Amino acid sequence: MKVITFLNEKGGVGKTTLATHIAAGLAVRGHRVVLVDADPQGHATVMNGLPKEPGLYDLLVRDLPFKDVMHFIPPEQYQIPGQPMTGRLFVIASNIETRNIANSISDAFSVSDRFSELKGAIDYVIFDTSPTPSLLHGSIYLATDAIIYPTKCEYLSFDGLVESIKHRQAAQAHRDKWNLGDIQVLGIVPTMYRHQTVEHSENLKELKRQFGDLVWPPVIQRTIWTEAATMRQPVFALAPETKAAKEALSLVDRVRKATVYA
Ligand SMILES: Nc1ncnc2c1ncn2[C@@H]1O[C@H](COP(=O)(O)OP(=O)(O)OP(=O)(O)O)[C@@H](O)[C@H]1O
Ligand SMILES: [Mg+2]
C-alpha cells in the first residue's frame, strides 16, 4: 500500500483536482484506491458526488470502523466510457468537523495507525489536504510515503510551495526520530498553466532551475477541468478524447511508474 499526499499551503492551486483525478485514474488502471478528504471544505467529497459529512472525524476521533466511513464510488461515475473496470474507488468524506480532528486525537500516529489497517486490502491511499497547515497535517506526514505538490506558476503559489517544503522537512525530522524513512517527493506539478503568458513561462523556467527533474510537465489551463468539476466527473470520464483527459491519464501513469505498482 502506498500513501500519497497532495500539498500546497496556497489555496486554489489544483490539489483537489489532481487528488481526485489521480485517485479515480488509479482505480481506472485497476487499483484499489481510497481517496481521503482531509480538508474541512469537503471539496473532494463533493467532487465525488457525496454529501459532506464527518467521515474522517468519525474514523480518527470516534474510532468508527472503515466499513462505516468508506463510500464505494460507482464506476459509472468515473470510468472511461467503453473500457472495462477492474479497480475500485472509495472515498472518506469530510466536513467542517475535520477542523476539530487535530484537537481531538490523542497522538500524532493516529492517522498512521488507523490507515495501516488497510494494508493488503488497498493499493493506494490518496490524501487531499487543506491549504491551512494544522496538526492534522503533522499526523498525515507520519503516514505518508510520497508527496505531490501542485502549484500554479505564480509567485504566491511558489510561496505556498516553499512553506510546504519547510513543513515537510520539519516532519521529516520527526519521522527520523522514529526511523520511519524518507518521504518521497514524487513531483511538483505546474497546474492551470498558460503558455502564452510571459509570467507563467518565466516562472516555469525558475521552478525547473530550482527543482530540476522533480518538475512534471505542466497541466494546461482549460475550461473542461471546471466543467468536469461541475459535473462531478473526472475529465477522462466526461470527455475522454480531449487533451485534458490525456494529460490527466499521463499523470496517473507517471504516479504508477514512480511507485511500486508500476
Ligand atoms: N488545468 C486546469 N484548468 C482550468 N481550471 C482548473 C485546472 N485545474 C484546476 N482548475 C480549477 O481551479 C479551481 C481550484 O482548483 P482546486 O479546487 O483543485 O484547488 P485546491 O488547491 O484544492 O484549492 P484549496 O486550496 O481551496 O483546497 C477549481 O475550480 C478547478 O476546477
Ligand atoms: Mg482543495
Q: Where are the chain's structural domains? A: 2-258
* Nearest atom within ligand 1 for CA of residue 129: 27
Of 116, 127, 102, 110, nearest in space to 6 by CA: 127
Ligand 2 centroid to Cα of residue 17, in Å, is 7
Do 221 and 192 touch, CB atoms closer than 8 A? Answer: yes
Integer Cα distance of 228 and 117 in angstroms? 33
Ligand 1 centroid to Cα of residue 18, in Å, is 8
- What is the pLDDT, as a whole number, of residue 3? 98
Do 37 and 45 touch, CB atoms closer than 8 A? Answer: yes
DSSP E strands in 29-154: the ranges are: 32-38, 70-72, 88-92, 124-129, 146-152
- Tell the residue nearest (CA) to atom 13 of ligand 1: 12
Q: Tell whether ligand 1 has an atom less than 6 A from the beta carbon of residue 43.
A: yes
For the CA atoms of 204, 166, 174, 255, the dihedral, rounded to the nearest 10 degrees, stands at -10
Q: Which ligand is nearest to the CA of 164?
A: 1
* Nearest atom within ligand 1 for CA of residue 193: 1
Q: Tell whether ligand 1 has an atom less than 6 A from the beta carbon of residue 191.
A: yes
Of 97, 126, 109, 131, nearest in space to 13 by CA: 131
- What is the pLDDT, as a whole number, of residue 262? 45
Q: C-alpha 2: how far from its chain's center? A: 12
The single-letter code of the amino acid at 224 is: I
Integer Cα distance of 15 and 130 in angstroms? 9
Q: Which residues surround ligand 2, an ion (CB under 5 A)?
A: 15-16, 43
Ligand 2 centroid to Cα of residue 206, in Å, is 25
In the chain, where does DSSP find H-type helix?
Answer: 15-28, 43-47, 55-60, 66-69, 101-104, 110-115, 135-143, 155-177, 198-211, 223-230, 235-238, 243-258
- What is the pLDDT, as a whole number, of residue 34? 98
* Nearest atom within ligand 1 for CA of residue 130: 27
pLDDT in 10s for each residue of the chain, 262 residues: 999 999 999 999 999 999 999 999 999 999 999 999 999 999 999 999 999 999 999 999 999 999 999 999 999 999 999 998 899 999 999 999 999 999 999 889 999 999 999 999 999 999 999 999 999 999 999 999 999 999 999 989 999 999 999 999 999 999 999 999 999 999 999 999 998 899 999 999 999 999 999 999 999 999 999 999 999 999 999 999 999 999 999 999 999 999 975 4
Half-sphere exposure of 132 (CA within 13 A, CB side): 6
- What is the pLDDT, as a whole number, of residue 16? 98
The answer as to CATH 3.30.750.24 being correct for domain 2-258 is no
**pTM confidence score:** 0.97
Q: Tell whether ligand 1 has an atom less than 6 A from the beta carbon of residue 152.
A: no
Using DSSP, state whether 227 is helix, strand or coil.
Answer: helix
- Tell the residue nearest (CA) to atom 14 of ligand 1: 12
Q: Tell whether ligand 1 has an atom less than 6 A from the beta carbon of residue 192.
A: yes
Q: Between helices 243-258 and 15-28, what is the axis angle to 10°?
A: 80
Cell of 215: 518538475
